Amino acid sequence: AKKAAKKAGDVVEAVAQAVSLVDKPVPGAPGSEPPAFEEPTEPRTPPAPKPDQAGPQVVSATGEPAGDDELVRAQHGEFLTTSTGLRLRDTDHSLKAGPRGPTLLQDHHLREKITHFDHERIPERVVHARGAGAHGVFVGYGTADAVSLAEFLGEGVETPVFVRFSTVLGSRGSADTVRDTRGFATKFYTEQGTFDLVGNNIPVFFIQDGIKFPDVVHAAKPHPDREIPQAQSAHDTFWDFVSLHTEGQHHTMWNMSDRGIPRSYRTMEGFGVHTFRCLNAAGETSLVKFHWKPRLGVHSLVWEEAQLLAGLDPDFHRRDLYDAIESGAHPQWELGVQVFPDVPEQVFEGIDLLDPTKIVPEELAPVQPIGLLTLTANPTNFFAETEQVAFHVGHLVPGIDVTDDPLLQARLFSYVDTQLSRLGGPNFNQIPINRPHAPVNDMLRDGFHQHADHTGVAPYRPNSLDGGCPFHAGSTDGAFTDVPVTVPAASKVRENPASYDDHFSQVRLFWTSMTPVEQEHIVSAYSFELGKCYEQAIKERQLVALANIDDELCSRVAQGLGLPAPERTIEYDEPEPSPALSQVGEIWPTDGRMVGVVVDPAGDLEAVAEMRETLLAAGLLPLLIAPHGGDLGNGLVAQRTFATARSVEFDAIVVAGAAPPAPDAVPARDAKAGDASTVASDPRVGLLVEECFRHSKSIAAFGEGRSILDELAISGAGVTTSDDAADVVDDLMTLLGAHRVWERFATTV
Ligand code: HDE
């Protein structure tokens, strides 16, 4: 090693001489400063592998997992080795003919290292490429026993889960906060086999028949010539498709509403979208729609925030989920069901349950809670878990079955198919994150990436050579039973039922269920998106669709586009609004909400420290923002500086007592982090507060901080000030429970 170091030193010296014309010290050159950090010389105790990192499962002839321990692949152990376990002396230098000579082809380690690296990437998902995952646990309430015999729904039964949230349109590296639908896919590792609930945060879909999925996705993805815009629906091809294909109007309206820009994955509802068929222990069936209800309520960003975040923190949702879990603010959702009688026509209150462009309002069929999901742990390795997880709507357990919804039927085919190319072969269920927790005893053999070392000679049925194993299970052994639903005699046709022709009544239902402020946001969203289109004909066609939803909506958007508002062309019965669809009006828990606290190191730090403790004790996350980083005094440390903080990160802002500016202070327009205390005059403080005001967030100030609000003329609803920090904290908690200061938004709808 000494010799190598000497040689390396020689080389560095040579380089130092070669570049001596440049007047710069060469790091590591003889005589230069030693590097600040030394590499550790002793290996540390390796962490124990997580259960899902355990080695590939080897299935024995009896179905018992065997031999796991020998095959552990987690990155640990003392010495670096090749993939075949050979200990390596050096992974930093390739084998060369002399220090300056050519690299030798025989260097297997070099080639293995580079070849493996060359193949590190796999294709991203064709949709839902950008996502974030988390582990958790689902606990059944037992209330679903009346409808489903699924054991994991039984009272107190705990089932490990992995959840992946995603945007739909963007690539893996796109921003989290774009206007889009979000995926909400849950893998329940039940003892009866894996159940996947592969849902979205929007309860309806763009198309009624899966055969059109490539069409809607091609229209919404970036234009094929320039590959722009990334992760956006605000472009011609998307609006071309939905304006021609009016069954997409309902889903589009949800996307244009605040649901299209969630505040956090933690504050999204989830929906199974399709109607499923459940079977109970008595052999009775019912039709069921699944809902996830977030404990923190359903909350959204405002559009300007979403746009700013896409640049300032493209990982906003990923970070939020990760931080919340790490800080112990474990996100929770209740799983609920709407239950409908399984009548032959599969219609409830006039709503076709097989049409995935329709909801059943909660006022007509309440969502009944059946269990609680808690996310408790972040993935250890993004690729291994979040990227390789493979969901499939066909992963069912006894007691839950599919229906004939033609969208669901096509999905049953698509998910396995896509995994074949994405994960490189048919054995993706052997990847640790996908591996069932129930014993596997299949007769699937061989194929790319086969990890199981199957024993036995007879992977076929019937056989006598392996003792006739494996045997069929009866329903008392927990076998899946296909519900013998009667399929009415019919001709083979490429047609929809007549009920699928209603494309507008439920879009209007959604619109009329919104409060004025939510309607205002919808108007703005349509005006923005259509304003980004170039083709006049597309805008005009979409305005006709809006006229068929609501006059006011249509004329406001037309006004924004500078076009005449067209006449309505379709008549239908006025739908009953569903107030349950609105996000406004309730008070929700505030756990894990982020509060930015503007601190002046020269101000009242004792009051700040006290307030910080109160906020932390209430489960909120106060982040101190100061003119400079590091120690602020009184045990306080700045988490953000005026250079790194931006309002969009926070749910509320507190301006803590600041020392008043000197009477002759000039506003420091170009103030930088590290400048002398300029809290009261720093324009970035003004920007923080003003943006929070514009985005209808709660604002508090105490002590001298009040004068900053006065200076900025910030007052009115949702602005709380006091001499005493304790008072403003109380007010802030109440304000945050409502998520926004709704009355501050201007409304004209
Ligand atoms: Fe998907 N969808 N989808 N989808 N979907 C995929 O599967 C597809 C649909 C949903 O985090 C793909 O593994 C078709 C509805 C989520 O890994 C692919 C149709 C709903 C995810 C696919 C639909 C969803 C996917 C891409 C129309 C809400 C992300 C990669 C028939 C109920 C899962 C993959 C994850 C992913 C096909 C419609 C939800 C190509 C053909 C409706 C949450 O197989």
Q: Which atom of ligand 1 is nearest to the CA of 418?
A: 44
pLDDT at 46: 55
The 10s digit of each residue's pLDDT in 516-569 is 999 999 999 999 999 999 999 999 999 999 999 999 999 999 999 999 999 999
For residues 739 and 384, give the distance between their C-alpha atoms in angstroms, rounded to a whole number: 35
Mark whether 135 is an active-site residue.
Answer: no
Q: Whose CA is nearest to atom 42 of ligand 1?
A: 205
Cα angle, residue 728 at apex, residues 730 and 583 outer, rounded to 5°: 60
Is the per-residue pLDDT at 76 higher than 80?
Answer: no
CA of 127 to the centre of ligand 1 (A): 7
Q: How far is CA 361 from CA 58, 203, 285, 576, 701, in A?
A: 48, 11, 22, 9, 42
Of residues 63 and 627, more confidently modeled: 627
Q: Whose CA is nearest to atom 23 of ligand 1?
A: 411
Segment 226-245 mean pLDDT: 97
User: Whose CA is closest to 550, among 592, 591, 597, 512?
Assistant: 512
**Of 27-41, 221-235, 595-609, 613-627, where does mean pLDDT reach its minimum?**
27-41
Percent of the chain topping pLDDT 90? 77
Is the per-residue pLDDT at 64 higher than 60?
Answer: no
Is the per-residue pLDDT at 674 higher than 50?
Answer: no
CA of 486 to the centre of ligand 1 (A): 28
Q: Which atom of ligand 1 is nearest to the CA of 415?
A: 44
For residues 721 and 392, give the distance between their C-alpha atoms in angstroms, rounded to a whole number: 52
pLDDT band of 663, cuts 50, 70, 90 = low
For residues 339 and 342, give the distance between their C-alpha atoms in angstroms, rounded to a whole number: 9
Angle in degrees, 0-180, between the axes of helices 236-244 and 213-220, rounded to the nearest 10: 140
pLDDT at 430: 95
Tell how strand 65-66 and strand 131-140 pair up: unpaired
pLDDT at 81: 87
Q: In the structure encoding, which two tokens stand for residue 396, read together?
A: 């069912």
Burial class of residue 296 (count of CB atoms within 10 Å of its CB; 0-12, 13-18, 19+): buried
Q: Which atom of ligand 1 is nearest to the CA of 211?
A: 31
CA of 570 to the centre of ligand 1 (A): 32
Q: Whose CA is nearest to atom 38 of ligand 1?
A: 411
* Per annotation, catalytic residue among 109, 135, 200, 299: 200
**Sign of the dihedral defined by the CA atoms of residues 421, 426, 429, 432, in that order:** negative
Q: Whose CA is nearest to atom 16 of ligand 1?
A: 183
The 10s digit of each residue's pLDDT in 680-716 is 778 999 999 999 999 999 999 998 889 899 989 999 9
- CATH superfamily of domain region 594-744: Class I glutamine amidotransferase (GATase) domain (3.40.50.880)
Compute and round to an integer the Cα radius of gyration of the chain: 30
The 10s digit of each residue's pLDDT in 168-220 is 999 999 999 999 999 999 999 999 999 999 999 999 999 999 999 999 999 99
Q: In the structure encoding, which two tokens stand for residue 35, read together?
A: 């590097």
Q: Which atom of ligand 1 is nearest to the CA of 413?
A: 41
Segment 284-297 mean pLDDT: 98
Query: 131-434, which class in CATH?
Result: mainly beta
pLDDT at 73: 42
User: Whose CA is closest to 175, among 281, 76, 315?
Assistant: 315
Tell me which H or E stretch contains 119: none
pLDDT at 117: 96
pLDDT band of 724, cuts 50, 70, 90 = confident
Q: Is 358 in contact with 409 (CB distance < 8 Å)? A: no
Mark whether 128 is an active-site residue.
Answer: yes
Q: Is 330 in contact with 336 (CB distance < 8 Å)? A: no
Residue 93 one-letter amino acid: H
Percent of the chain topping pLDDT 70? 87
For residues 324 and 594, give the distance between their C-alpha atoms in angstroms, rounded to a whole number: 10
For residues 206 and 251, give the distance between their C-alpha atoms in angstroms, rounded to a whole number: 5
pLDDT at 488: 83
CA of 368 to the centre of ligand 1 (A): 26
The 10s digit of each residue's pLDDT in 98-133 is 999 999 999 999 999 999 999 999 999 999 999 999
Q: Whose CA is nearest to atom 25 of ligand 1?
A: 128
Q: Is 433 in contact with 162 (CB distance < 8 Å)? A: yes
Q: Is 278 in a helix, a strand, or coil?
A: strand
User: What is the best residue among 411, 418, 428, 434 to mutate for testing ligand 1's pocket, by most ligand atoms within 8 Å of CB?
Assistant: 411
Q: Which atom of ligand 1 is nearest to the CA of 129?
A: 30
Is the per-residue pLDDT at 66 higher than 50?
Answer: no
Q: Which atom of ligand 1 is nearest to the CA of 127?
A: 26
For residues 670 and 647, give the distance between their C-alpha atoms in angstroms, rounded to a whole number: 19
pLDDT at 31: 55
The 10s digit of each residue's pLDDT in 136-169 is 999 999 999 999 999 999 999 999 999 999 999 9
The 10s digit of each residue's pLDDT in 363-408 is 999 999 999 999 999 999 999 999 999 999 999 999 999 999 999 9
Q: Is 425 in a helix, a strand, or coil?
A: coil
The 10s digit of each residue's pLDDT in 403-428 is 999 999 999 999 999 999 999 999 99
CB of residue 199 inside a 6 A radius of ligand 1: yes
Three-state secondary structure of 74-118: CCCCCCCECCCCCECCCCCCCCECCCCCCECCCCHHHHHHHHHHH
Q: Whose CA is nearest to atom 19 of ligand 1?
A: 411
Q: Phi/psi at 305 (nearest 5 deg)?
A: -60, -45
Helix ranges restricted to H, 165-221: 213-220
CB of residue 127 inside a 6 A radius of ligand 1: yes
Segments making up each domain of the chain, as ranges: 131-434, 505-581, 594-744
What number of other Cβ atoms are within 10 A of residue 724's Cβ?
12
The 10s digit of each residue's pLDDT in 252-276 is 999 999 999 999 999 999 999 999 9
* Per annotation, catalytic residue among 76, 108, 119, 128: 128
CB of residue 164 inside a 6 A radius of ligand 1: yes
Interface ipTM: 0.96
CATH classification of 505-581 is 3.40.50.1370, yes or no?
no
CB of residue 429 inside a 6 A radius of ligand 1: no
pLDDT band of 10, cuts 50, 70, 90 = low
pLDDT at 160: 97
Mean pLDDT of the chain: 89
Tell how strand 594-598 and strand 652-655 pair up: parallel
CA of 141 to the centre of ligand 1 (A): 28
